[in-house]
A and B are shown apart, each in its own frame.
Chain A
Amino acid sequence: MRKVLAVALKEMRQASRDPLTLALLLGIPAAMLLLYGYALNFDVRHVALAVQDRDGSAGSRELIASFTNSTYFDRAADLPAGSDLDGVLERRLARAVLVIPENYARDLDEGRRARVQLLLDGADANTATTVLGTSSAVVADANTAILRKALPDQQLRTSRVIDYEPRAWYNPELKSTQFLVPGLIGFILMLTSVLSTALSVVREKERGTMEQLRVTSLRPAELILGKTLPYLGIALVAMGIILLVARALFAVQVRGPLLDLFATTLLYLFGALGFGLLISSFADSQAIAFQVGSVFATLPAIFLSGFIFPIRSMPRLLQWLTYAFPTRYFLVILRGIILKGASLAPYRRDLLFLTIYAGVIFGLAWFRLTRKAD
């Protein structure tokens, strides 16, 4: 244990001697959170809406108001009848154009079907889909309001057969930052812990100090632990910083028990650090270690984890592939603890997989690094 401490102390000294690396390890997570938190914002609000109200009635104004009152749309321009609607979208004066034809109010009053048109800039398909969804909801709401007004009370009562009232729990406003923060934690911890361990071991190989260590009575196990523990500590500090930043900037609070969060993170980190060690047992240069680490650890943590792309909407093959990477399980638990305020109890299966992953990877790394000279 004393030797483990000697190695750990040395690692810490080297890390502190290199303020840039340390700042990267601790600062990058927070910086990425800022970057991704703001850039990876999938919420569509304040969409510029141009309006061509050819009816000009109280009814048409009511419909426009229900669009703008939703806060999803901002009234960007009013277009006179006969103006060039294509040009508005082309010149990006607005992302959507609402066209209300003449006789809109009269059609409604006389019990006919009134038609309105929404032109949408479909170049950005993601945004367009979201806008389409919100506008449909706005129109549906408006429909209900009109119906209620038009029908006599008793008829209304009978017509309300189903009271559809969707409510998103845990993240009622469906803010994507809430959803992204756990994913970011998974990704960032994977990135920093895999790379820091892999690079710190490979650096010793490159500089020849590894050979010097191998002729001392330092056992490989002691070296592994001494190398792992400091970075485990650093990763936990980084995690704390992420949570603080997420709370300060995105109002993401940890609702569940912190101890469970900590325990899960520790388990996840063991797998990640083990993977870093495993890479270091193959790679002979820091450049290779960096590339391997990026490709096999951080990319899956982004794409095969459910961080950004929902696993359920992936092709079957990729879905299967996600089971091979730990971030998938980690994110499920993390979202549960952070957003739902759950404890670990409902996530036994994911926890089991995390444990298996950590065990297998760490075991492999251990085997590779402790085997005898060849």
Chain B
Amino acid sequence: MAAVETRHLSKSFGAFRAVDDLTIAVEEGEVFGLLGSNGAGKSTVIRMICGLLAPSGGTALVEGVDVARDPEEVKRRIGYMTQRFSLYEDLTVRQNLRFFGGVYGLRGVILDQRQAWAVSQAGLEGKEDLMTRSLPGGWKQRLALACAVLHRPKVLFLDEPTGGVDPISRRSFWNLIDKMAEEGVTIIVTTHYLDEAEHCRRIALMHAGRLISMGTVSQLKQVFAGRAVIEVSCPRLFEALDLFERDEDVLEASLFGSRLHLVVPDAGTGQRRALELLQRSGNVPARVEPIVPSLEDVFIHTIETEEASRTRGEQKPTEKAGSRVQRGVP
């Protein structure tokens, strides 16, 4: 039995389809990532599975329990933490923990134990009497996590848990998550930090409410099988982007910060072709190198392919849809 399962899950807000026919199955103890740009529908999916939103169609199951049928039972089994770290800022660390413990029905020795465990996990020893408001972002985040797992949930939902947190805190946060997964907790996380997605055993890519790709990181990278990604740096980036977008031998060109990534049929010929084009237009000094595609390349490529296949029916077939995707997918 899957720890979390959705079957044809859909949600519409008026005419807007936020989630469109999503079917996924997450196994027990798996770290499962939901990836997508803002508005892709990731949070909506999580909110439906947690019973915060009623689906317009389809079902969501947690450990076999239908959320629509028995939301209370589902709530007992899950933990939930959002990017906003919904803590009471005007209570101390200890008071927040005791409150959430009380709300989960913990008491006495068990509450004391769980609280001590949570404090040590979150590295908040000695900070119990600090006002939550005064904590730095990374600590608030760990406290929020501690509050969300006080009752030992079997499934933990993290909705962009590292938003607004510094990189070091993010790393220690992910160490915590990995440790919990080892203990058998199923974790479903949404993020748009693609480096974080590498922590996930499997990833579902969402775009405009739809599942466009799902699998392990290496499985996803196979979209580039038979093709290569090369990285270009040159003085006039946008001019080069225009140039490559018009070139027949370049399948895709997209902006990656201060560089361009090109998808080409073959690394060697692609590299020579790109250099030649740049030199011909005097856009030098240029550097062109084949690279191992990152998850970000996968993400952009997959979305572009999806967009292209969708617009093909409506627009001119020759147009390369949305190739000016910015790095980092917001």
Q: Residues on A close to B: CB < 8 A?
A: 2-3, 5-7, 9-10, 13-14, 17-18, 207-209, 211-219, 372-374
Contact = CB atoms under 8 A, between A and B. Distances in A.
A371 to B, nearest CB: 11
Nearest to B148: A212
A6 to B, nearest CB: 3
B54 A208 contact: no
Nearest to A18: B90
B126 interface: no
A216 B95 contact: no
Given A6-B102, A6-B103, A208-B82, A13 B52 contact: no
Interface core residue of A3, A18, A217 (most chain B CB under 10 Å) = A217
Dominant SS among interface residues on chain A: helix
Interface residues of B, number: 31
Interface core residue of B78, B100, B102 (most chain A CB under 10 Å) = B102
Contact of A372 (B54, B86, B87): B54
B130 to A, nearest CB: 13
Contacts of A209: 86-88
A18 B90 CA distance: 8
A86 to B, nearest CB: 64
Interface in B95-142: 95, 98-105, 107
B50 interface: yes
Contact of B86 (A5, A13, A14, A208): A208
Nearest to B95: A13
Given A208-B84, A373-B54, A217 B105 contact: yes
A17 B91 contact: yes
Given A10-B95, A219-B72, A211 B88 contact: no
B76 interface: yes
A219 B105 CA distance: 11
B51 interface: yes
A232 B68 CA distance: 35
A366 B69 CA distance: 21
Given A215-B51, A216-B75, A373-B52, A2 B102 contact: yes
Interface of B: 50-54, 71-72, 75-76, 78, 80, 82, 84, 86-91, 95, 98-105, 107, 147, 151
A218 B150 CA distance: 14
A17 to B, nearest CB: 5
26 contacts: A3-B103, A3-B105, A6-B101, A6-B103, A7-B102, A9-B99, A10-B88, A13-B91, A14-B91, A17-B91, A207-B89, A209-B87, A211-B82, A211-B86, A212-B147, A215-B52, A215-B78, A216-B103, A217-B72, A217-B103, A218-B103, A218-B104, A219-B72, A372-B54, A372-B71, A373-B71
A10 B52 CA distance: 23
A214 B52 CA distance: 7
A346 B113 CA distance: 57
B153 to A, nearest CB: 10
Given A6-B103, A10-B102, 17 more contacts: A2-B102, A2-B107, A3-B102, A3-B103, A6-B98, A207-B86, A209-B88, A211-B52, A212-B80, A212-B147, A214-B52, A215-B50, A215-B51, A215-B75, A217-B72, A217-B151, A374-B53
A207 B140 CA distance: 14
Contacts of A211: 52, 82, 86
B128 to A, nearest CB: 14
Nearest to A210: B86
A10 to B, nearest CB: 5
B104 A217 contact: yes
Contacts of B89: 207
Contacts of A372: 54, 71
A373 B51 contact: yes
Given A10-B99, A217-B104, A372-B71, A212 B91 contact: no
Interface core residue of A3, A14, A216 (most chain B CB under 10 Å) = A216
Contacts of B104: 216-218
Contacts of B51: 214-215, 373
A214 B104 CA distance: 11
B129 to A, nearest CB: 13
Nearest to B87: A209
A313 B120 CA distance: 69
Contact of B100 (A2, A13, A216): A216
Contact of A373 (B53, B90, B101): B53
A21 to B, nearest CB: 10
- Report, nearest first, the 6 A-B pairs whose CB atoms are least far apart: A6-B102, A212-B86, A215-B80, A208-B86, A208-B84, A10-B99
A13 B98 CA distance: 12
A229 to B, nearest CB: 14
A374 B54 contact: yes
B109 to A, nearest CB: 15
A211 B84 CA distance: 11
